[in-house]
């Protein structure tokens, strides 16, 4: 959820709560003052009636608002206040009244004097308050929305500009600088901190890049010299058998180290996104070409190859990385297939799937993509092929999945975008 949405939600909840509480308080206050004023008016009416009886001897009756009758008994100079319902013959319903009564003695006679006035029904009062409060709340909510919208376009504009620039940040852009300018101290501090952080990241990246390139170069040169000298030694005519075996073993290990260095360098370059060059790659054609490289291995293990390759499937990617992905997937499948097994290769505009028969794994599938992990510990494999595949998929935002079903090991690469 975006920051402004959270802010608006908080404003709405706080405002709604405040208006509900204010509406309830407003109702009780208005009700109290209304009834208090009504009581004062009724008491004033009673005093006027008493004066009229005393001066004129007239008993004014205006039912149901004024009711006077002579009674026997003692006078009581205390007012009695009650709410009552009186049936209205015209409206054919009971009307609520506030009633104040007193027993007073005038010229030696006792009179029950009752003054009444209609009460505004509480339901009507509550409805009126709810309408007024709701209207004000909706009006305030609309105002808050436009105010926050205006704030987001002005105050928050540098923040969103900074976010957009950070999304386009790249390791190979030395001198990266945020262009957003703000008079807000917090945004200034944020931009300064981000600039220092990005410069540190770029510096570390450049250092790591130089180190990997230099390390690879410095390792490959001595290895090439060692290999050359070992090859020269192997040409000596008077070598003994055990000496030749030692030289061959040393030569094999130098080749292994050379391959390991190159593979680790490739992984580092992929992780550091040092393959920015992308073009339209015909994956169908590339897959067909690389399958031919493994024909000898396939026939050597008496494997049966079944392929369903949709023609003219193009991907926007780095050619070298696409080539590495295909070679590693096919090589892994051929290497781990049982003698006489069937290899299935399927390619369409959504995914590439390669499967081969075999016994189920005794480890979690995630382990397959770890560096240097090998199912067969005695294998001469480096255990880096699937790790390279995973890194290539991550870089291209593809999805690599493994599953075992129907006695088949299946590796599926789901492509993000195909070019038609």
pLDDT tens for each residue of 126-169 = 677 778 877 887 887 788 778 777 776 677 777 777 777 777 77
> pLDDT above 90 covers what percent of the chain?
0
Average pLDDT in the 251-275 region?
Answer: 71
> Is the per-residue pLDDT at 412 higher than 80?
yes
Residue 24's contacts (CB-CB under 8 Å, 6 or more residues apart) are none
3-state secondary structure (DSSP) of residue 102: strand
Specify the pLDDT at position 76: 66
Domain spanning 279-419, CATH architecture: 2-Layer Sandwich (3.30)
- CA distances in angstroms from 325 to 170, 283, 312, 414, listed in the order given: 24, 11, 18, 13
Q: Residue 299: is it exposed, middle or buried by C-beta count within 10 angstroms (0-12/13-18/19+)?
A: exposed
Is the pLDDT at 384 greater than 80, yes or no? Answer: no
So what's the pLDDT on residue 236?
80
pLDDT at residue number 206: 73
Of the candidate ranges 65-69, 250-254, 389-393, 411-415, the one whose mean pLDDT is the lowest: 250-254
Report pLDDT for 197: 80
What's the whole-number mean pLDDT along residues 277-281? Answer: 83
Which pLDDT does position 171 carry in this prediction? 65
| DSSP type of residue 368 | G
Percent share of the chain, pLDDT over 70: 83
Q: What is the mean pLDDT of residues 310-315?
A: 87
With a cut of 70, say whether residue 224 has pLDDT above it: yes
So what's the pLDDT on residue 15? Answer: 75
Q: What is the torsion angle, in degrees rounded to the nearest 10, for the CA atoms of residue 17, residue 18, residue 21 and residue 25?
A: -170
pLDDT over 80 (residue 401): yes
Contact 382, 372 (CB under 8 A): yes
pLDDT of residue 175: 63
Query: Does residue 201 carry a pLDDT above 60?
Result: yes
3-state secondary structure of 384: coil
pLDDT band at 219 (very low <50, low <70, confident <90, very high): confident
Identify which of 234, 403, 243, 415 has the alpha carbon closest to the alpha carbon of residue 322: 415
| 180 vs 245, more confident | 245
Return the DSSP state at 62: B
Q: What pLDDT does 122 receive?
A: 57
What is the model's pTM? Answer: 0.49
Q: What is the mean pLDDT of the chain?
A: 78
Mean pLDDT, residues 182-195 taken together:
77
What pLDDT sits at residue 166?
A: 76
Greatest mean pLDDT among 148-152, 306-310, 360-364: 306-310
Range 238-254 average pLDDT: 79
The domain locations on the chain are: 3-144, 163-274, 279-419
DSSP string computed for 264-309: HHHHHHHHTT-----EEEEHHHHHHHHHHHTHHHHHHTT-EEEEEE
Is the pLDDT at 324 greater than 80? The verdict is yes
With cut-offs at 50, 70 and 90, classify the pLDDT of residue 305. Answer: confident
pLDDT digits (tens, 9 = 90+) for 61-103: 777 888 887 777 666 667 888 888 888 777 778 888 888 888 8
In order of 31, 77, 161, 361, 368, the CA distances from 330 in angstroms are 85, 110, 45, 19, 15
Crossing angle of helices 3-56/122-154, nearest 10°?
150
pLDDT of residue 402: 85
């Amino acid at each position: 959820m975006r920051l402004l949405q959270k802010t608006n939600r908080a404003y709405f909840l706080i405002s709604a709560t405040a208006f509900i509480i204010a509406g309830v308080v407003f109702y009780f206050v208005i009700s109290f003052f209304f009834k208090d004023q009504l009581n004062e008016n009724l008491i004033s009416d009673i005093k006027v009636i008493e004066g009229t009886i005393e001066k004129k001897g007239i008993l004014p009756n205006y039912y149901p608002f004024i009711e006077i009758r002579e009674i026997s008994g003692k006078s009581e100079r205390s007012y009695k206040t009650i709410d009552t319902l009186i049936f209205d013959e015209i409206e054919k319903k009971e009307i609520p009244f506030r009633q104040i009564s007193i027993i007073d003695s005038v010229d030696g006679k006792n009179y029950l004097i009752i003054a009444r006035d209609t009460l505004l029904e509480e339901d009507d009062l509550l409805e009126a308050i709810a309408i007024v409060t709701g209207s004000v709340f909706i009006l305030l909510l609309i105002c808050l929305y436009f105010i926050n919208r205006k704030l987001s376009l002005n105050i928050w504009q540098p923040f969103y500009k900074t976010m957009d620039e950070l999304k386009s940040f790249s390791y190979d852009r030395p001198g990266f600088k945020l262009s957003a300018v703000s008079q807000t101290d917090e945004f200034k501090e944020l931009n300064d901190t981000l600039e220092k952080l990005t410069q540190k990241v770029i510096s570390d990246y450049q250092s790591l890049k130089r180190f990997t390139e230099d390390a690879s170069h410095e390792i490959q040169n001595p290895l090439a010299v060692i290999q050359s000298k070992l090859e020269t030694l192997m040409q000596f005519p008077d070598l003994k058998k055990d000496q030749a075996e030692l030289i061959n073993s040393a030569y094999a290990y130098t080749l292994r180290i050379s391959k390991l260095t190159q593979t680790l360098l490739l992984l580092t370059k992929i992780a550091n996104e040092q393959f920015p060059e992308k073009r339209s790659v015909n994956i169908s054609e590339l897959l067909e070409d690389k399958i031919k490289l493994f024909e000898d291995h396939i026939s050597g293990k008496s494997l049966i190859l079944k392929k369903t390759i949709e023609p003219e499937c193009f991907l926007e990617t780095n050619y070298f990385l696409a080539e590495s992905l295909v070679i590693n997937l096919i090589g892994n499948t051929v290497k781990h297939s049982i003698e006489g097994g069937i290899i299935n290769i399927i390619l369409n505009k959504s995914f590439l799937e390669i499967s081969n028969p075999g016994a189920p794994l005794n480890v979690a599938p995630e382990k397959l993509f770890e560096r240097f992990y090998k199912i067969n510990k005695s294998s001469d494999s480096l255990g880096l092929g699937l790790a390279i595949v995973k890194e290539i998929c991550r870089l291209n935002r593809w999805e690599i999945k493994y599953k075992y079903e129907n006695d088949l090991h299946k590796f599926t690469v789901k492509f993000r975008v195909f070019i038609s």
